[in-house]
Structure 1
Amino acid sequence: MRFLSNSRQVSFLLTSMGVSVVGTAVALLAVTVHMSARGSYSSTLVVLADLLPATLLATLAGMIVDRYSNRWVCVIALSGQVVGDLVVVAGSNSAWVPYLGLFLIAAAGTTVGPCVYSLLPKLLSEDADISRAFANATGVQVLGGVVGSSVAGFLYAWVGIRWCLLIDAVSYCLAILPFLMMKADRRARSEADQGQGDQTDSWLAGVKAVATQPVLRAAVLVQSLGVAAAVAINIVDVYFVVRVLHVGSIALGFLGMTWAIGIWLGTRPDSLWSTPARSTRSVLTAGLVMGLALTIPMAWPNIYLQNVMWLIGGFCLGVQAVATRRVARATTPESQRGRVFAAMAGISTFSSLVCIPVVTGLLATVGPRIALLSLSATVLAVAAIAQITVRTPTTAGEKVPVENAAV
């Protein structure tokens, strides 16, 4: 078999990751629209089917990534997403099968992100190139969700849920091909030092790494709150725009587009994560700025001001997404990296699941303005505390040690 060059392997790896993200977004929107006629509870079930796998299966996904060939893990994961699509197609008239299919798609996808982020350092030798690849992978994830939702809307309107999901299944099959043509691979268990014993083999090694390292813990906490804030915005924005700003769906669409553009721009500035220390400061500072950006429009409601602040907030979330992964790579051993990346994804998803009922309750009791103001104040406070208490190196080239302690 003819193997791809390293640069092409990176390109195709990111493309396959993008197809997986787009496919999940397509299935999510198609199932949401298709099941909406069955009652208001359907939206809740769709959200749970999409988010629960990342939380429940994070430790298992991380262990699989660290124990087995990453190439073949991705091939099997994408094949699993094909099966999930076919389950939805076969049971599209059922009251519960589409939720099962969506759960399978999301569950299979839990290994794709950690695999890609763990494989990239195997393909690139320069630290700057690896950081740029991480940034591009984050951008692909962001744009994949936006593109997938847009594509799903057109496909569902034109051909219905069955053909929509069949086309999605074909795209997953095409995404498998680059992994079959890759030469580079990663099997961290064989590379681990035998003396590390149970710590290396522990299913909870990724969670323990996040919990016990102050720098990584602070970065993941602040970034997870940023993700939760993004979820809250999706819930609250429609009520805030209509009831407080008294504008329509076009303005709501512009706000969503502005947020997505901000995230993409936030993955671009290499200088913000050129060193582990700078990455740590970027995550914490971005949390502060995001808290302020979300607070200002609530204090002075104005659609134009909100668009500007949402652009800034999205930019901060993009910075956090890349810089947090840069911190994780610098503070964790290679043998545990898949579990660490999976744990980070699980923690972010768990924070979103917790945020949904909290924000929904605040929305019902105190209204959209106070609901989002409360969350933005939380983001601001946590980022401020982390900024004060977490010690990072002051030398630009100095790396953050694993045992970096909080002051």
Structure 2
Amino acid sequence: MGRAFANRNYRLFFAGQGVSLVGTWMTRLATSWLIYRLAGGDAPWLLGVVGFAGLAPTFFLGPVAGVFVDRWDRHRVLVVTQILSLLQSAALAGVAFHGGSGSIMIGLVVALSLAQGAINAFDMPARQSLMIEMVGRREDLPSAIALNSSLVNGARLVGPALAGMVIALVGEAWCFAIDAISYVGVVAALLAMRLTPKPRPPATGSVFGRLTEGARYAFGFPPIRALLLLLAQVSFATMPQSVLMPVFVARVLGGGPYTLGLLSASQGCGALAGALYLASRPSVLGLGRVVVGATLVLSLGLLGFSQSSSVWLSAVLIAAVGAGMMAHMAATNTLIQTMVDEDKRGRVMGFYGMAFQGVAPFGSLLGGWLAGRYGSRPVVLGAGLVVMAGGLTFATQLPRLRRHARPLYKKLGILPSDRPDEVAAVMASPPALRETA
């Protein structure tokens, strides 16, 4: 499970990221609470606007950002995005400390959320593309990706709880200030890394041409295309459940903040369990079945949650939703990163960010509109059916996708080759790689 920790660079990244992610989750909760406090009755609509502003830039900028990530030094890009995120959190703290008119403050928070979304559009492909350089060996990628997902969800449990105490004691502004300070840790960790510089191919052609080349590569190879399309479908359909959670708590379960906290913690625990399961797997082999299984667990959790009227049953079902979503996301990430060509990694991970985060705000907008017309239960029920349909469709395609991926896996040494000379090449590879094969 922890084999990625054998790499010094990854240990540094994990430690710095752990501190920073707690601050990030503090900012998310504090931003929502600040908007709620300032807006009063208009809070639901404005919360949707803030959420959309923070995620939508990934949809529009993610693929273009991937072009530049493939051209630039990924380590430097990540250092810059972390410094810019530090400045954005400091600006949020300044706005909150200064106070002023509610409408002006809300406008500034939305603008700063939009700025953070633009930063994240470059941060995600750079972060994902740098992972292979941090761990050094392709066979350690599954462990690194899954451990990073575990870290995100561990911070998801700690950050909001800490933010609640800080808001109650000294107000939202200090959450933003703590978040800004937390970025110092990850910047220091990045600067302390010792990475071997990798030569980049000369930047030829226009940005549009490079983007088109990346799109043809990503969507022209059936396994990557199928994984990206399923991820986009799952992200789009699952987002309304998160947005409508307060409605379920108040109107369906008859609860309040305690119930909302219980369900949020349950979903986080489920997601953490799903990530740890992925980290414990020794190889990428069989991850296609994991994608199918995780998607079906997610869909059944959504279907059950939409019909539940019991708080504790809902907590169990929402934990299944978290586990299924996280296992699906991490398995998809691992498969794509294992198969992608190095010179196109940034562009493909830009499309990954677009599928994972970019489509989510559009799903939340549609889900909110449908819930206003038909109610929250039918919307989440429909989301479960959409996710199940996607998972079953992917399952029928799995044998064909394996046939496309098998030659690549043989070339990488993940599967033994049919040719004696290639078998000899695999046996001459490092022991860890032979074990994976």
* Aligned position for 2:30: 30
Following superposition, the deviation at residue 269 of structure 1 comes to 2.6
Work out whether 1:240 is the aligned partner of 2:248: yes
Work out whether 1:70 is the aligned partner of 2:74: yes
Please identify, of 365-374 and 201-210, the stretch whose mean Cα deviation from structure 2 is larger.
201-210
* Aligned position for 1:55: 59
Of 220, 231, 245, 2:228 maps to: 220
Following superposition, the deviation at residue 76 of structure 1 comes to 1.0
* Aligned position for 1:405: none
Q: Which amino acid aligns with 1:372?
A: V
What secondary structure sits across from 1:203 in the alignment? helix
Q: Check 1:215–1:98 CA distance in 2 against 1; reply closer, same or farther (3 A cut).
A: same
Following superposition, the deviation at residue 134 of structure 1 comes to 1.0
Structure 2, unmatched stretches of 5+, are 412-437
TM-score (norm 2): 0.80
Q: Check 1:76–1:360 CA distance in 2 against 1; reply closer, same or farther (3 A cut).
A: same
* Aligned position for 2:392: 384
Following superposition, the deviation at residue 373 of structure 1 comes to 0.4
Deviations 1:85-123 (A, max 9, x none): 232234343332222223223322333333332223223
Name the count of aligned residue pairs: 395
* Aligned position for 1:176: 187
Following superposition, the deviation at residue 198 of structure 1 comes to 7.5
Q: Check 1:342–1:295 CA distance in 2 against 1; reply closer, same or farther (3 A cut).
A: same
Whose Rg is larger?
2
Of 370, 374, 383, 1:366 maps to: 374
Report if the CA contact (8 A) 1:223-1:317 is conserved: no
Equivalents in 2 of 1:329, 1:264: separation in Å? 21
Report if the CA contact (8 A) 1:28-1:50 is conserved: no
What secondary structure sits across from 1:112 in the alignment? helix
Equivalents in 1 of 2:189, 2:70: separation in Å? 21
Equivalents in 1 of 2:136, 2:297: separation in Å? 33
Q: Which amino acid aligns with 2:91?
A: V
TM-score (norm 1): 0.85
Q: Check 1:185–1:140 CA distance in 2 against 1; reply closer, same or farther (3 A cut).
A: farther
Equivalents in 1 of 2:204, 2:334: separation in Å? 23
Following superposition, the deviation at residue 283 of structure 1 comes to 1.2
Of 132, 145, 149, 2:143 maps to: 132
Equivalents in 1 of 2:94, 2:405: separation in Å? 56
Equivalents in 2 of 1:204, 1:154: separation in Å? 48
Structure 1, unmatched stretches of 5+, are 403-407
Deviations 1:144-178 (A, max 9, x none): 34433333333233333433322222211232111
CA RMSD, 1 decimal: 3.2
Q: Percentage identity across aligned positions?
A: 22
What secondary structure sits across from 1:91 in the alignment? helix
Equivalents in 1 of 2:150, 2:227: separation in Å? 19
Of 143, 159, 163, 2:154 maps to: 143
Work out whether 1:375 is the aligned partner of 2:383: yes
What secondary structure sits across from 1:57 in the alignment? helix
Of 269, 276, 300, 1:261 maps to: 269
* Aligned position for 2:357: 349
* Aligned position for 2:83: 79
Equivalents in 2 of 1:145, 1:53: separation in Å? 22
* Aligned position for 2:415: none
Equivalents in 2 of 1:366, 1:121: separation in Å? 46
Following superposition, the deviation at residue 81 of structure 1 comes to 1.0
